[in-house]
Structure formats: C-alpha cells, structure tokens
Amino acid sequence: MTLHLSSTEVLRLGRDLTGTFPQVLAQIDNARLREMLARIDVTPDSLKQSGAKDWANFTDRMHFIADFFRVYQEQRHLFDAPFMAQQVTLLKSGVRPDGRL
C-alpha cells in the first residue's frame, strides 16, 4: 500500500519511514505520551521497523502511524486542501473529476 503525500512524495507503508523527528518531538517529555508510545513503538525514538508489514495488525499499523505523525507534523504542505475548488464542485455533484485525486 502507498500513501501519496504530494505529487512527488509517496510513502510505501510496508517500508520504514525516512527522515528525522523535528526538534520539538526529538525527545518525548510528556509521561502519558511516553507510556502510550511504549505500548506501540517497539523501536523508541527511532524509525527502525516503522514500516507496517501487516496493515491489519493494529500494533503494526499504529507503530507506523505514530512515527508518521511524529516525523511529518511540521510539514506545512500536509495542511493544504486535498482538492482544488473545481474538483470539490464536481465531487459534490456526484461526478468523479478526471486526473489525479
């Protein structure tokens, strides 16, 4: 499975994430968050084994998701609208727009 983050960035969900944790999340100080991460992240503070080999496995999936949000939380382009205004209009009318969605 893949996740398209932009027209050029595609993540393969079964592969380890790349990149680094932003400075604000490089070290987790909140005790409740550390406790939650300890239950789902078998490689704390690392992207090793972050790829979800079995997306149906809750722990495997949550490990990927936790690391994904931690790595990408400062990526401003992820806050952009997913569709252009013309695409939204077509979707609301029940028509699937041509091209990439």
Note the pLDDT tens digit of each residue in 17-76: 999 999 999 999 999 999 999 999 989 899 999 999 999 999 999 999 999 999 999 998
DSSP labels, 26-88: HS---HHHHHHHHHH-SSTTS-TT-S-S-TTSHHHHHHHHHHHHHHHTT-GGGGS-SS-HHHH
Q: How far is CA 70 from the centre of its chain?
A: 8
The pLDDT score that the predictor gives to residue 88 is: 95
- Tokens in use for 4? 């398209």
| In the chain, domain spans | 2-92
The pLDDT score that the predictor gives to residue 101 is: 73
Residue type, position 73, single letter: Q
Note the pLDDT tens digit of each residue in 75-101: 988 888 888 999 999 999 999 998 877
pLDDT exceeds cutoff 80 at 7: no
